[in-house]
Structure 1
Amino acid sequence: MPIALVRSLRGAFSVKEVVGVVGRRTFAAGAKKKGSKGGAASDAPKASLLSNEVKSTTVFGANILKDGQDPKILPDSEYPDWLWHLLDKKPPLSELKRKDIKTLPYDDLKRFVKLDNRARIKENNSLKAKN
């Protein structure tokens, strides 16, 4: 019976169309909100009500207090020096191995030990997994 049904549908639909409809994941339509007259107009992004001057002097969304205000952007001299080095690229393990360990600064030496331990642990785990 099912083969006869497929043969009868073969003339009306292509196999790709049938497989596309059967294999496609569908979701129920979302419930409309009360008072909503249409989705197209409300889905459009709204223009910002804030002026460019206010946008450039305030960090919006940084306030975590219920009654607080968003903090103002300060001049660069008001922030600590370490803040400006957070995004600096750090050398990978391969580069640290090429350098002399005795001459490395403390931060690089600490990073070398951490990365080397991590690499050894991964190697030992992969060897144990193969056995």
Structure 2
Amino acid sequence: MPISFVRSLRNITTSKEVVRALGCRTFAAGAKAKKGSKGGAAADAPKASLLSKEVKSTTVFGANILKDGQDPKILPDSEYPDWLWHLLDKRPALSELRRKDVESLPYEDLKRFVKLDNRARIKENNSLKAKN
């Protein structure tokens, strides 16, 4: 059986026939280059921006979700709420919170500790109950 299969493969000349004979899928070919272009280096080069630097620094491009709307203007820092500036602050991990005295933690850290500890306990219980 395998020898007859190999002999039938020898008679196949095109790659489409090989794929059909072997029964496996292939990925689509990449995007074809335009006629007359040499290589992909010219297509990969970054394009110059059509927007002036002044417009770039005063407008948030891509934030408009409305069909007829405009992109919002960037406001001075005093116009934004205080909580916004603390969104990216590093918060302590569960292991760090466990090392500290729970009674001396600030309210926000205590709330975070309870949430993370419950999540860890649920994961541990789920892994113990999981079927192996």
Q: What is the match of residue 107 of structure 2?
A: 106
1:91 to 1:39, Cα distance in 2 relative to 1, 3 A? farther
* Greater per-residue helix proportion: 1
C-alpha separation in 1, matches of 2:78 and 2:35:
48
What letter matches 2:5 in structure 1? Answer: P
Q: What is the match of residue 74 of structure 2?
A: 73
Q: What is the match of residue 128 of structure 2?
A: 127
**Structure 1 stretches (4+) deviating beyond 6 angstroms?**
none
For structure 2, which runs of at least 5 residues remain unmatched after alignment?
A: 12-17
C-alpha separation in 1, matches of 2:36 and 2:56:
28
* DSSP 3-state at the match of 2:71: coil
* DSSP 3-state at the match of 2:27: coil
For 1:76-95, what aligned pairs fall within 5 Å after superposition? Answer: 76-95=77-96
Corresponding residue pairs, total: 112
Provide TM-score, normalisation by structure 2: 0.68
- Asked whether 1:50 is paired with 2:51, we answer yes
Deviation string, structure 1 residues 59-113 (Cα, Å, up to 9, x no partner): 0111122222211111112111111110011100000011111111111101000
Task: Report deviation, 1:2.
Answer: 2.3
For structure 1, which runs of at least 5 residues remain unmatched after alignment?
A: 10-17, 31-37
Q: What is the match of residue 5 of structure 2?
A: 2
* DSSP 3-state at the match of 2:127: helix
Provide TM-score, normalisation by structure 1: 0.69
C-alpha separation in 2, matches of 1:60 and 1:80:
21
What letter matches 2:26 in structure 1? Answer: R
Q: What is the match of residue 98 of structure 2?
A: 97
What letter matches 2:125 in structure 1? Answer: N
